[in-house]
């Protein structure tokens, strides 16, 4: 398999996302030109470390890095303030200097935690993402969001810290448990729904191949998702507008994670449930003539991808629930009353709930004909009110295997969509 590359060009940073097979042994050669430092500290977890950290460390040693490792307990419960303090202490003990490197090897939790620590240690040291889960490869490793959870809510302490490189080895995904795989598919579906009809149609055609983990199809899913996110982040790096659309499904998703307890459900499962809720809410609004968002017509995508779900004891739940072998059954910590708990407010803008829907950088996607009410001729502005702005998929230049995404001007307004964290 030939590697695919997506170049992310922001006003504050530029880096490449390399997607391919058997890349772990090439990490050292890829990152060596990106820093003048002599040390590299690998941050990993107790599950990923024994499988993949060794190959990454060997590749770093081969090119001359003095290398050590920090291992945290696998799971969302490690993404907390106390654990971040311990990692920072270990970076200091390793003698890391400002030009040295932090390498995150693992899923979204490791990437968020290691990136946060790299962002605050010595007021910032270089770091590299080596994501080993589908969710991390298609979403969390790109864009520079890092952070830890607080008692008040998820991702409430963090910094924007762009990586020097993202190295996504597709071979690592073959060892993912099915639940983690479907969690990643939730983020792929989110990207497809927000991006374009082309991406969405591609996902629906290739849903079964993705479920079977066909490596060529998986690599393309990662490329399409990363390309979409890179375009959005390039237009709004610090999330004052279009980037907030990437949080589709996260308002309810974060509430589920917080009420159930971090780690009870995977982030992807919670987000998938949030997207189902959004689709149902939008479908109701369409029936009532309130909106024409294209998402209302895409519930079949969520079904065809066999996304994970959440079950509660609420007898009238309208969510698409998984079968028992897919994690179904009563939800620990959730009750009919607790599911109505509102998520904590947006730390960047407590009044964000009153702001308009964000508009993505370019292109217009409308729902299929007949899926929404006909605009009232007495309201000539109704059609504009009901648009969904999404970027188009850009075809690769045949002469170059890189997708390049440069900053676009942001809108004057700073709309909000859902709570923080893609």
- The pLDDT, as a whole number, for residue 259 is 86
Is 304 domain-assigned?
yes
137 in a structural domain = yes
Active site (annotated) includes residue 243:
yes
Within-domain flag for 183:
no
Q: Both 141 and 254 in a single domain?
A: no
Mark whether 49 and 172 lie in a shared domain. yes
Catalytic member of 4, 161, 231, 250: 250
18, 180, 197, 239: the catalytic one is 239
Structurally, the chain folds into a number of domains equal to 2
CATH number of the domain enclosing 108: 3.40.50.1970
298 is an active site residue: no
Widest CA span in the chain: 71
E strand or H helix that includes residue 365: strand 364-365
Q: Are residues 300 and 163 in the same domain?
A: no
**136 with 265, same domain?**
no
348 is catalytic: no
- Domain finish residue from 176, 210, 226: 176
Query: Is 418 designated active site?
Result: no
- The answer to whether position 184 is within a domain reads no
pLDDT at 263: 77
Q: Does the annotation mark 247 as catalytic?
A: yes
What CA–CA distance (Å, rounded) separates 404 from 396? Answer: 9
Structure tokens at 289: 């003539």
Residue 250 annotated in active site = yes
Run means of pLDDT, 10 residues per run, the chain, 422 residues: 93 96 97 96 98 98 98 96 98 97 97 98 98 96 96 93 98 93 88 91 92 95 97 94 86 84 81 78 56 52 59 38 35 42 43 51 39 38 34 39 53 39 62
Catalytic hit among 18, 187, 244, 422: 187
Catalytic annotation on 187? yes
Q: Are 59 and 26 in contact (CB under 8 A)?
A: yes
Closest CA to 2 of 318, 316, 220: 220
Separation CA 6–CA 255 (nearest Å):
33
User: Quick one: 279 and 389 in the same domain?
Assistant: yes
Helix, strand and coil percent figures for the chain, each rounded to 5: 45, 15, 40
Q: Is residue 87 part of a domain?
A: yes
Q: Is 145 a catalytic residue?
A: yes
Task: Report yes or no on 57 lying in a domain.
Answer: yes
Do 146 and 295 share a domain, yes or no? Answer: no
CA distance 341 to 401: 47
**pLDDT of res. 387:** 33
Instruction: Decide: 279 and 189 in contact? Cβ < 8 Å.
Output: no
Q: In terms of domains, do 278 and 165 share one?
A: no
CB 118 within 8 A of CB 161: yes
> Do 251 and 332 sit in the same domain of this protein?
yes
Output DSSP code: residue 339: G
Verify that 172 and 263 share a domain, yes or no.
no
142 and 19 inside one domain: yes
Polymer length in residues for the chain: 422
Distance CA 131, CA 387 (A): 35
Domain of residue 45 covers 4-176
**Which one is catalytic: 5, 254, 258, 298?**
254
- Which pLDDT belongs to residue 405? 58
Q: Is 239 a catalytic residue?
A: yes
Give the pLDDT of residue 307. Answer: 60
Among the listed residues 87, 95, 89, the one whose alpha carbon sits nearest the alpha carbon of residue 43: 87
> Any bridge partners for residue 68, and if so which?
41
In a domain, 343, yes or no: yes
267 is a catalytic site residue: yes
Q: Is 80 in the same domain as 171?
A: yes
Which position among 39, 182, 229, 298 bears the catalytic label?
229
Q: Which of 145, 161, 231, 405 is catalytic?
A: 145
Does 252 lie in the same domain as 156? Answer: no
Which one from 26, 243, 276, 419 is the annotated catalytic residue? 243
């Amino acid at each position: 398999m030939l590697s695919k590359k997506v170049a992310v060009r922001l006003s504050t940073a530029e880096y490449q996302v390399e997607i391919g097979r058997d890349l772990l042994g090439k990490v050292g050669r890829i990152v060596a030109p990106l820093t003048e430092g002599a040390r590299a500290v690998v941050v990993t977890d107790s599950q990923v470390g024994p499988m993949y950290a060794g190959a990454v460390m060997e590749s770093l040693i081969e090119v001359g890095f003095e290398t050590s490792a920090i291992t945290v307990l696998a799971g969302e419960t490690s993404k907390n303030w106390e654990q971040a303090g311990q990692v920072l202490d270990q970076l200091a003990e390793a003698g890391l200097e400002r030009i040295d490197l932090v390498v995150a090897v693992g899923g979204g939790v490791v990437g968020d935690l290691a990136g946060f620590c790299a962002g605050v240690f010595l007021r910032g040291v270089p770091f590299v993402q080596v994501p080993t889960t589908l969710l991390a490869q298609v979403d969390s490793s790109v864009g520079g969001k890092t952070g830890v959870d607080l008692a008040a809510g998820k991702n409430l302490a963090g910094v924007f810290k762009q990586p020097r490189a993202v190295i996504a080895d597709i071979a690592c995904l073959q060892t993912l448990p099915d639940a983690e795989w479907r969690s990643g598919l939730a983020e792929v579906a989110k990207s497809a729904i927000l991006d374009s009809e082309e991406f969405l149609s591609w996902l629906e055609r290739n849903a079964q191949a993705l479920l079977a983990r066909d490596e060529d199809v998986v690599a393309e899913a990662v490329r399409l998702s990363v390309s979409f996110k890179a375009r959005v982040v390039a237009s709004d790096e610090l999330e004052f507008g279009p980037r907030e659309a990437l949080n589709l499904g996260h308002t309810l998703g974060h509430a589920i994670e917080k009420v159930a307890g971090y780690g009870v459900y995977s982030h992807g499962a919670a987000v998938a449930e949030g997207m189902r809720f959004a689709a149902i809410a939008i479908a109701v609004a369409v029936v009532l003539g309130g909106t024409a968002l294209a998402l209302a017509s895409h519930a079949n995508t969520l079904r065809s991808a066999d996304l994970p779900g959440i079950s509660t004891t609420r007898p009238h739940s309208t969510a698409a629930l998984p079968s028992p072998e897919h994690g179904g059954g009563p939800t620990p910590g959730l009750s009919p009353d607790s599911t109505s708990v509102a998520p904590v407010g947006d730390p960047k803008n407590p009044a964000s709930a009153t702001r308009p829907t964000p508009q993505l950088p370019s292109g217009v996607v409308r729902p299929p004909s007949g899926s929404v009410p006909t605009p009232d001729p007495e309201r000539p502005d109704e059609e504009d009110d009901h648009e969904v702005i999404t970027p188009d998929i850009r075809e690769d230049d045949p002469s170059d295997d890189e997708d390049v995404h440069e900053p676009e001007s942001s809108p004057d307004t700073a709309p909000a969509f859902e709570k923080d964290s893609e």
